[in-house]
Amino acid sequence: MKNKVIYLLLGTLFLVILTGCGSSNKNDEHDTTQEEIVVIEPPVIYEAEQADLSGGVMIDTKKESYSGTGYVNGFSVDEDGCHFQVTIKEAGFYDFNFISASEGGYKENIVMLDQEKMGTVSIESTDFSDSVLNRIYLTEGEHVVSYVKYWGYVRLDRLEISKSPALAEDVYEVSAKLVNENAGDEAKRLMSYLTDIYGEYFLSGQYSDGMYSKDMACIWKENGNQYPAVLGLDLIEYTPSRVSHGSTSKAVEHAIEFWEKGGIVTFCWHWNAPEKYLKDPWYSGFYTEYTDIDLEKIMNGEDQEEYDLLMQDIDAIAKQLLILQDAGVPVLWRPLHEASGGWFWWGAKGAEPYLKLYKLLYERLTNEYQLNNLIWIWNGQDKDWYPGDEYVDVIGEDIYPGEQVYSSQMPKYLEALEYTDANKMIVLSENGCLFDPDLAIRDGAMWGFFATWSGEFVSKAGGLNIYSEQYTDKEMLKKVYAHEKVLTLDELPDLKTYEIKE
């Protein structure tokens, strides 16, 4: 149950009404009317106009309602930033609240701690408002917290730093029950295993063109002949508009092979738009800018022809998933990914048509095709795009923080926790660089699995199986795969006989 905390000023201490400061086990009986009094310190305030400024950032006073003697603006190019010198008296977890105002529309900018990227914060209001990055671990002593231009075009008034509330005690207690009531035993066994280890172990994963591809070879060679536990694959080449141009794929065969070797398979689908709506180049037809498709019209019933074409595409993909089902392969299925970003056509018209398409896809694959081997990973990456608990088994976040950024990415983990009141497993469904498992354990960012994207994130260009250290250096790669809490292929149980947890 959510705890309630009462607002009260006591000298230099506050009693604050907070929702989500902690949680009891869902199975425990609890008096929901009981109020728990928690004494916390007020935030420490750092005024932006007193911070170190870089690039074209400057002090201004034109906009009203600022605190201190002014605010700063001028975030327009990459060198622009505001750098706060902060002093931490006690090591622990802290929330960063950047009081800022947009200069018009949604804006998102980067937060760095001691020159390492911690995440991003967003603001849409043109009034000075909260923009929070939660649960950042700080050691005792001096630090530099930087607010750096990404989208830019904001007014920054101040930074407020306060101690973070504890994570809910039941945050990793996730049900193994799948949203598809007719889910097959193969999917139930896999979900039972995933939920059994969630919160204690991380499953290693790699997107690659099969078990014996270039990327997998690099991982295998650098890590003492160890393979990742999860193989990531893409159904893109089975899309009709790509098949018509001669595309072929062995992804389904690779999935069956990996499953027979004892591994776990996850699939995404870069859905190339139907031929009629493609722009040049045709092979980039999953991107918004290379299609003329209008999902809003389609889902509102204004474009029946395109609706029928989308259904034909779904039918083509369903046939491949049925092959996997017939082979007894459970699939961590992640369709319509990264929708809220808008760079893919299925997210270009906003949340409403996307949600209609997501639910339609679920209903068609589950009810019409009776695909009972799918574990549904929702990867919309924004609360307003969440389709509902009845359509989601697992929540996925895709994070590409830059080169050799090994932080736990806890702020995104916390954001994912807020998509729903239900406890859902959270996974790092795509990543560029690896995270440091020790930091993730310390922070509580217990990603169910990670799945590093292929290509430059693992291997160097060319025909040789040479590992690239651009995103993750060899020492961190070896640390991750050798870590006692990171599971590899050889450490998986027999998932064909694993006990089903009801």
Residues marked active site are found at 338, 430
**Upper half-sphere CA count for residue 42 (Cβ side, 13 Å):** 11
At 123, the amino acid letter reads I
Read out DSSP for 70-132?
-EEE---STT-EEEEEEEESS-EEEEEEEEEEESSS-EEEEEEETTEEEEEEEE--SS-B--E
DSSP secondary structure code for residue 364 in this structure: I
268 and 339 Cβ atoms separated by less than 8 Å? no
Alpha helices (H) along 204-261: 214-222, 240-243, 251-260
C-alpha span between 426 and 449 (Å, rounded): 8
Strand partners, 214: none
Paired sense of beta strands 202-203 and 486-487, if any: parallel
C-alpha span between 265 and 430 (Å, rounded): 14
Read out DSSP for 294-319?
-HHHHHTTS-HHHHHHHHHHHHHHHH
Paired sense of beta strands 264-268 and 39-40, if any: unpaired
